[in-house]
Structure 1
Amino acid sequence: MWFSAQVPSDAQWIEELRAGGTRRRQAENRLYDQYAYLIREGARKHRLDQEQTATAYADALLALIEQVVSGRFEGRSSLKTYLYGLFSNKCVDQIRRKTTNRESVHQGVEIDGALLQLPDESRSVVQQLIAQYDAGQLRQRLRLLGEKCQSMLLAWGDGFSDDDIAQQQGYNSSAVAKTSRLRCLDKLRELYRT
């Protein structure tokens, strides 16, 4: 295991990621932190907001880790170059998702204008019904995500930080908790799209 201040070689990264257990989680955390600057660069280059770029980065990092662990990473490029390629593709996916007609279908109808035309008593009843329906839809979709994602997203929705969530749910760092949370949010978005 390495703890030096220098950047590990690709062989060291691969060894640690394939080791499993605590060594793998530590390597994942360090790898996340090592190239997290890509989030800022991706936001600037692809003109995406911070959350979209962070999601793209987390997805790319998880794909890289999965390919390294499964032995599908062939080493034809450095891990950094490979991660950057995956990240760029994920950013382009975010752009496509944002600009396709499918996305505009799922953005919802502007209902505020219609509500203003109703009398005050009716407006509050309609708003309550909409809120109840939305809450029910959210609860239903959260259940589909599984217990771990559900508890993480509920804690985050209640205002807990990624540090708090990491401590509550046994993650090694807030970076890993954030990556997991972003994956859960992405899965939740997909459930709303389908």
Structure 2
Amino acid sequence: MRFFARQPPDSDLIAGLLAGGIQRRQCEDRLYQKYDYLIATGTRKHRLQEDDCASAYSDTILTVIEHILAGHFEGRSELATYIYQIFNNKCIDLIRKKSTQRDQVHQAVSLDDSLLQLPDSARSIVQQLIAQSDVDRLRSLIGKLGEKCRDMILAWGEGYSDEEIARQLNYNTASVAKTSRLRCLERLKELYR
């Protein structure tokens, strides 16, 4: 049986976000944790991968925080309803993006098929050049993300856990570090396209 910690009321979370400072960071983390069950809901309902749903959820929480701080959330609905609607829309956007990308992939000529036509020695050299080009491009794009995102992605790439990254980069909790990391990875994906 799973026991749930008592969650603060939404009005307290909103007030904490608006207060700023340390209280805001704590409330961001609590808000993230309070509705993180939506990740599992998204994987079931939309049949998306857990990483995709986690990314959509992180984007949702960041969007909701921005809306609260900008005064766009007026409280005409429950915060849970507001969060769910934004999350649902982000999942649908992901599904649309993936289906559009699949159509484009089917029209492309396979690089693997082209490589098979080359002699073994040439194929090996071409594959090494492609790999090096990808690494160079990735390093360049990571550099464009800014210092904090770069450090976070490099640490994560080296196998550090979100908890270790949180300590290393002075985040309050592993959940906040994970949200930030997913956001940075999403920005990197956009740059990579």
| TM-score (normalised: structure 1) | 0.90
The letter for the 1-side match of 2:123 is: R
Quote the offset at 1:111 in angstroms. 2.2
**Counterpart residue number, 2:169:** 169
Question: 1:7 offset after TM fit, Å?
Answer: 2.6
Q: Does 1:119 align with 2:141?
A: no
What CA distance in whole angstroms lies between the structure 2 residues aligned with 1:26 and 1:103? 43
Give the letter aligned to residue 129 of structure 2. Answer: L
Tell me the percent identity. 57
Residue 78 of structure 1 corresponds to 78
Alpha carbons of structure 1 residues 39 and 107: separation in structure 2 relative to 1, 3 Å: farther
1:43-192 to 2 correspondences below 5 Å? 43-101=43-101, 104=104, 110-192=110-192
Alpha-carbon distance in 2 for matches of 1:61, 1:70: 14
Provide Cα deviations, 1:96-125, integer angstroms capped at 9, x if missing partner.
110115873599753223323322221221
For structure 1, which runs of at least 5 residues remain unmatched after alignment? Answer: none
From the superposition, tell whether residues 183 and 106 of structure 1 become closer, same or farther in structure 2 (CA, over 3 Å): farther
- CA separation of 1:109/1:187 partners in 2, compared to 1, >3 Å: closer, same or farther? farther
Structure 2 unaligned runs (5+)?
A: none
Structure 2 length normalisation: TM-score? 0.91
What CA RMSD, in Å, does the superposition of the two structures yield over aligned residues?
A: 2.0
Q: Quick one: which amino acid aligns to residue 27 of structure 1?
A: C
1:25–1:172 Cα contact (<8 Å) kept: yes
Q: How many angstroms does 1:34 deviate by?
A: 1.0
